[in-house]
Structure formats: structure tokens, C-alpha cells
């Protein structure tokens, strides 16, 4: 077996999440707050996630721009998804946010989260929330949640990148509990993830 083939097998196994991708997705997407917020998960994989939200009037504050809680909430949705994506229950330890630009009703926000570092007990994530004009969204919106290999960079390129609205740095505690129960995951998976 060529070294490249072995790497492909490792990536394929990670995308399949030890044979539990569909069941784990059902658990991860059953998030009442995400539904209440109006966030739509567009893609996720081991250690990363993306979600979108079209800002409505009820998402704005007194200045009629996106409420900070909405921006933070969308970032938290992808943070939770990416940090729990390996199957191990993870809970937030710390999150800090920098609000960099205002977004208005009618704009679409795209939030991305990617794992920067993971140990058995903690993991760190970079979350970015960007605003995108709604005419771009209709061309690029996937019909179903995408499954793909973990990207090295989740940034959208070119005109579709939009403006950076907020940046979050986040850390989780990784518990000994497993989504779907410990028996759903192989010993090798539990040891490495």
C-alpha cells in the first residue's frame, strides 16, 4: 500500500466517524436553540462546522443592527457542533468574542468553526462569523448538509467571503461521556478521539 493510499483511508475513516456519522448527525442537529435562532447547519466534519443565518428584524438591537447575542449564538452553534463532532461530549470552558463589524437585517451570516488543538481533555477552536449579501447565498447554498474531509481552512474565497463580523476563540472540556454511548465507538477511536 502506498503512503498516499493509507492517508486516504485515514481521512475516509475520519469522515465516516467510526461508522457513526448518520447517527451522530441526528444527535448534533437536534439542538433546540439552533432551531429557535434560525441557524441552518450547511456542513460539518471531524473538528469543524459551518452554519448560516439570514438576519431578520427580530435579530437586531436598538441600533437596528445584528444583536451581539445573535452573532455570538451563531458562533456558539458551530463551536458546539465542531467540538462534539468526534463523538465525545464536550462542554465549553471559555469563549471570547471580538465584534468587528455590524451586520444588518437581510444580510446572511456564515459562521465557521475549526479545531486548532485537541488533547484528551481539552480542545481549542477558532470561530469566524462573516456577513454575506443575500444574492450570493442563493447561488452557493447547498441543498443538503455537506460531508467532506476536514478542511485546513474554512474561509470562503473571493466575492463570497463577505466581511468579518466577529471572531471567537473558544475552548472546551472533553468529558468521558460519548454521544451514542461508549459501545458505539471502537476502542481505537475512543483512544485517539
pLDDT digits (tens, 9 = 90+) for 61-70: 999 999 999 9
- Residue 149, pLDDT score: 53
Backbone angles phi, psi at 111, to 5 degrees: -110, 135
CA 130/CA 53 separation, integer angstroms: 10
The whole-number pLDDT of residue 162 equals 84
Model confidence, pTM: 0.83
What would the CATH number be for the domain defined by 3-192? 3.10.129.10
Q: What's the pLDDT at 169?
A: 98
Residue 191, pLDDT score: 93
Is pLDDT at 144 greater than 80 in this prediction? no
Where is 116: in which H helix or E strand? strand 108-118
**Would you state the pLDDT for residue 1?**
32
Regarding beta strands 48-54 and 108-118, do their DSSP bridges make them parallel or antiparallel, or are they unpaired?
antiparallel
Mean pLDDT of 122-149: 68
Domain ranges of the chain: 3-192
Mean pLDDT score, 89-113:
97
Q: Chain-centre distance of CA 131, in angstroms?
A: 16
Amino acid at each position: 500500500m502506498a503512503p498516499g493510499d493509507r492517508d486516504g483511508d485515514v481521512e475516509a475513516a475520519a469522515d465516516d466517524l467510526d461508522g457513526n456519522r448518520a447517527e451522530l448527525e441526528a444527535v448534533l442537529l437536534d439542538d433546540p436553540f439552533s432551531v429557535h435562532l434560525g441557524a441552518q447547519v450547511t456542513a460539518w466534519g471531524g473538528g469543524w462546522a459551518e452554519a448560516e443565518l439570514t438576519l431578520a428584524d427580530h435579530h437586531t438591537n436598538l441600533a437596528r443592527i445584528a444583536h451581539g447575542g445573535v452573532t455570538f449564538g451563531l458562533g456558539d452553534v458551530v463551536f458546539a457542533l465542531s467540538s462534539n463532532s468526534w463523538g465525545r461530549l464536550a462542554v465549553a470552558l471559555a469563549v471570547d468574542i471580538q465584534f468587528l463589524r455590524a451586520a444588518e437585517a437581510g444580510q446572511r451570516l456564515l459562521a465557521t468553526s475549526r479545531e486548532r488543538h485537541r488533547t484528551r481533555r481539552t480542545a481549542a477552536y477558532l470561530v469566524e462569523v462573516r456577513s454575506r449579501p443575500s444574492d450570493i447565498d442563493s447561488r452557493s447554498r447547498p441543498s443538503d448538509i455537506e460531508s467532506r474531509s476536514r478542511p485546513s481552512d474554512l474561509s470562503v474565497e473571493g466575492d463570497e467571503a463577505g466581511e468579518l463580523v466577529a471572531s471567537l476563540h473558544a475552548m472546551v472540556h472533553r468529558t468521558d461521556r460519548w454521544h451514542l454511548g461508549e459501545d458505539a465507538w471502537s476502542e481505537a477511536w475512543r483512544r485517539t478521539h
